[in-house]
Chains A and B, each alone.
Chain A
Amino acid sequence: MSLISEGALSKPLPSLAEPSLAGVEDYLALLKPRVMSLVVFTALVGLLVAPGHVHPVIGFTALLCIAIGAGASGALNMWYDADIDAIMTRTLRRPIPAGRVQPGEALAFGATLAVGSVLVLGVLVNWFAAALLAFTIAFYVFVYTMWLKRSTPQNIVIGGAAGAFPPMIGWAAVTGDVSLAPFLMFLIIFLWTPPHFWALSLLRCDDYARAGVPMLPVVSGLDETRKQILIYTLILAPVGITPSLFGFAGPIYGAIAAICGAAMLYLAWRVYRDREGEVAASAARKLFAFSLLYVFVLFAALLADNLLARLGFGFGLAP
């Protein structure tokens, strides 16, 4: 059941007969390029740390397909969520609510890219990776966007799985299967997603409430959200070190993950402690910004550690 009230759209969408004013940049915006950058980076790390060798052309093809598949998910998400996007300040200027791209165009664009990316990945790389990509797109669109986002405050907890699959797909593109190492990478992103998005939702609580999206601070309140952020970060910090503990990465990665985990935990504690005024907003902003850095640094360290091991200078997963 949608929580969006009827007539909530602030401006009418253009009719089908109206010539399109969409520019190339609008279609690129439908792909959510900032989200795509994290997807591509984590998939690249999964692909490069996987045991075995992949030809650069095949590796590039796999990354391109994963990027396009992620972009397709974004376009389909924007098509379905156009009503919500038109209400929220953060998303008001997206191509569909702004009237530059019609919903049907976004649907056709996203569906074509979704099918195309899966087929090309299957034909040119391997069908196991393609099946994982198809599952990821379907999970993001049908489970997260169409079901969870409007129905439960656990939306981003479960839906976060979609954003955690790319390193696993990158790994599968090389090996044709998955094992514990890509599962640990999945787990890091999966556990990182709630504190990352809840920190943002603390800052945008009014926006989500106005749009009727049942984010945790809207449903359970700001204090409960702060507590949940701290709990998830308490789990995330040790899980971030597990690649070292299981022998998939060396002590250098382990040290970096421990330091970053401690910093993330400190910032989550600040969010939990500082609950009033500008100090509270500042704590949430810092946690949100650092959480982005956290996941990039951890995966960069995993990659560097693995490359050193391949060159004979480290202790990580050997090829």
Chain B
Amino acid sequence: MAAASSFANSILTPRRPISHGIRMGVGAVVGGGILLAWCVITYGGLSDPLFMPSPHHVVLAFWQALRDGSLLRNTGASLLVINAGFFLSSLVAIPLGILMGSFRVVAAGLEPIVNFTRYLPVTSMIPLLILWIGIGFEEKVAVIFIGTFFQQIIMIADVSAQVPSELFNASYTLGATRRQVVTRVLLPATLPGIMDTLRVTMGWAWTYLVVAELVASSSGLGYMSMQAMRGLHADYIFVAILVIGFLGLVTDRIFKWIKDTFLPWAEQR
């Protein structure tokens, strides 16, 4: 009785840590439950296999797409586009954002246009981009760039503005010049916030990528999904979704690893 109530206490008290075993167990039960439901629905004949593929069909489709090379080709195409778009966007947004957050004159120049553009859904610009640059690699990179850039610059400007003035004052009283305050205080102080921003906006970039590939494309995981839909191959759509989810998870872990490894001094969030 005492043991049971202490177990209840430990899991029903807000913010109370739970044991590793309980955490893994609960995770396995929920994950397994979803898998089980999927099996029941498909193998139990509760749904039309045309729209809802069974687990082993998805595995077979995955194997098939892997063997004929289409999965790797489309994954490669998507990765190339998202990395190019995200890299270009970050390359411009990081320095501009840092300046915008700390130099009033840069903010005065950029804020009006950035604030206008950030509320424009990038999807509204896709027809124009197709008209201007077609449906190839460059158009999709442009979609990701526009979708990511205006969010990144605002978030990084905020990171830059949040750097405590006391750090600047401390460095001034130690003899720092204005240039040294920028290079030795402002830049390192913004690094953890920039990493967090990149991690969050990378997730959004995946969304823009898939949208761009669904609308008009001849390669990529979104295109693969779209083709599968036209042929009523729901199993291939599942494969594409699962691969996208997996790649998102991997990129997130990579960002976390970079931060933990290179910025060990940053406070964990």
A and B: bona fide binding partners: no
Where the two chains meet, the residues of B that have a C-beta atom closer than 8 Å to any C-beta of A are none
Where the two chains meet, the residues of A that have a C-beta atom closer than 8 Å to any C-beta of B are none
